[in-house]
A and B are shown apart, each in its own frame.
Chain A
Amino acid sequence: MELHILTLCYIIASVTFIIGLKMLSSPATARRGNLVAAAGMTIAIFATIFLFREDDGKKLHNYVWIFAGLIIGTIAGTLAAKKVKMTAMPEMVSLFNGMGGACAALISAAEFYHTYKINQGAVDTPFSSLVGVGQYITIAAGAIIGTISYTGSIIAWGKLNGRIKDFSFKGQHIVNMIILVLVIGAAVWAYQSAMGNIYLPFILIGFFAFIYGILFVMPIGGADMPVVISLLNSFTGVAAACGGFLYNNKAMLTGGILVGAAGTLLTILMCKAMNRSLTNVLIGSFGGGATAAKGEGGTKTQGAYKEISLADAAMVMGYANKVMIVPGYGLAVAQAQHTCHELEKILGEKGVEVKYAIHPVAGRMPGHMNVLLAEADVSYDKLLEMEYANDEFATTDVVLVLGANDVVNPAAKNDPASPIYGMPILEVEQAKTVIVNKRSMKPGYAGIENDLFFQPKTSMLFGDAKKVLQELCAEVKNI
């Protein structure tokens, strides 16, 4: 009877995962979708704890340990997720994804150890005669994919918060390939080893997978991290599904495969939003492309840029009919969204029409700017998506670019040698005046120069976005 209820609980959980994911893909239902999936997960977890039976009918034990683990994880997870700043959300997701990957890898390790333990007497028996191929493949795949997902996510996390710099060397793709072969080699070796000396090959599987995860993410540019996280996310899904195979657990299997498939599609969709292919993101690391472009166009004279004073900028904006604000990562870093909203209100009182032009990949994650501005209570109808914004730039007097760079780089349209060529951009140069707020002339995340800054109608306003906006507010009030 209890086992039947467990089965029912797993079915309910699987259905909530599907419905939850479906609801998550539409803005109106997204939040409820998340809760639906969370409810299903809770049911599955408690059903497992209390109703699960081993093959021989034994109940689970070690309840103290299980609950201690659940409580520690819940408290730490909730605190981390509640405390994290909006700007650091993608890193947080990456970190949690890494935890899931590590969990899958540990399950495989524990299962491996379990097999070893019950066959301890048979030192000379090869592992292959104790465990079937199918079962071994799921154990090994769980360990490998989980470990890659773990180290990869940690590197992605480090890159997003700036602790780890891009790093690549010549022939890295070949080295990566060799390591991948070594991972599989170690897995095959472990399977054929005798029980007595199986530790070394099994540790090697983990070791090589560990290294591979690091080297796989290392050369990919920081701006592409959301794509990488999404990919690693689907990896962890597959690792979870391996666990489902192993325990013949349908909830793990459906949940894992569902995320594996949806995550892969999402990764491709994210690449499409940047008008690039997945291979281009993974193999054509940004750094290499940019140096090549520089080599070709290096002699091209950039000309000089001109600066604008705060008072002048305030004057130009205060007397404009229409101002379009283009927010970027700089705004997020400076936490200037509230000040930005303030400026928008002050300008509005002066009769200036203010709107925001939102590029789909501005910031460090798709939708970053929407989330950020919504936090500052900016009304939704003021946010224009890229296509609509591009129609309005021609009738705009002043464009204020706040810490955005690559998404307004005309090279994406004009320069086929540029690594971002083909990416749809906000065509701000159609407006009468462009004011760019940046901290310095350093190139943006993709590491490429931006011709926009050198155009005659562009003026630069250097400084931290929050400070500049505060001073702009004061100046505009005084007009």
Chain B
Amino acid sequence: MENILQWISANQETIYIVILMIFVGIEVIGRVPSVLHTPLMSGANAIHGVVIIGAIIVMGKAESDNYFALGLGFLAVVLGTLNVVGGFVVTDRMLEMFKKKK
């Protein structure tokens, strides 16, 4: 019990961020029309590609002669980049279709 309490107070900053972000996330897309559901899903998909930062850190920390760690990190960077770049480009292509409003 004390462990948990300690952990909470040690990480309170993070916990605050999590709670506030949950509300921001809900608030921000609360009134989206159904036409935009798919582009929004796709855009959100690109945003969670932020996980690429973690991949870069893993890659950059690995010792240069540790090929297993390098391989893992490299794969993570490639996949993360696919997520980010592919995600944003696909979203842009979807939304391109909406701009021809007359």
Contacts and interface: CB of A to CB of B under 8 A. Distances in A.
Interface of B is mostly: helix
A21 B72 contact: no
A233 B32 contact: no
Interface of A: 13, 17-18, 20-22, 24-27, 30-31, 33-35, 37-38, 41, 44-45, 48-49, 52, 54, 59-63, 65-66, 68-70, 72-74, 76-78, 80-82, 84, 86, 89-90, 92-93, 95-97, 99-100, 102-104, 106-107, 109-111, 113-114, 117, 132-134, 226, 229-230, 233-234, 236-237, 239-241, 243-263, 265-266, 269-270, 273, 360-361, 365-368, 370-372, 374-375, 377, 379-381
16 contacts: A31-B92, A52-B60, A74-B85, A76-B78, A80-B82, A84-B90, A89-B38, A95-B86, A96-B90, A103-B79, A113-B72, A226-B37, A233-B45, A251-B53, A257-B21, A259-B47
Nearest to B57: A247
Interface string B1-34: 0010001000100100110011111101111111
B58 A107 contact: yes
A60 B57 contact: yes
Contacts of A237: 44, 47-48
A235 B60 CA distance: 26
A38 B46 contact: yes
Contacts of B72: 106, 109-110, 113
Contact of A81 (B26, B74, B93): B93
A380 B101 contact: yes
B72 to A, nearest CB: 4
Contacts of B17: 250, 253-254, 257
Contacts of A20: 43, 47
B82 A262 contact: no
A372 B23 CA distance: 34
A132 B62 CA distance: 22
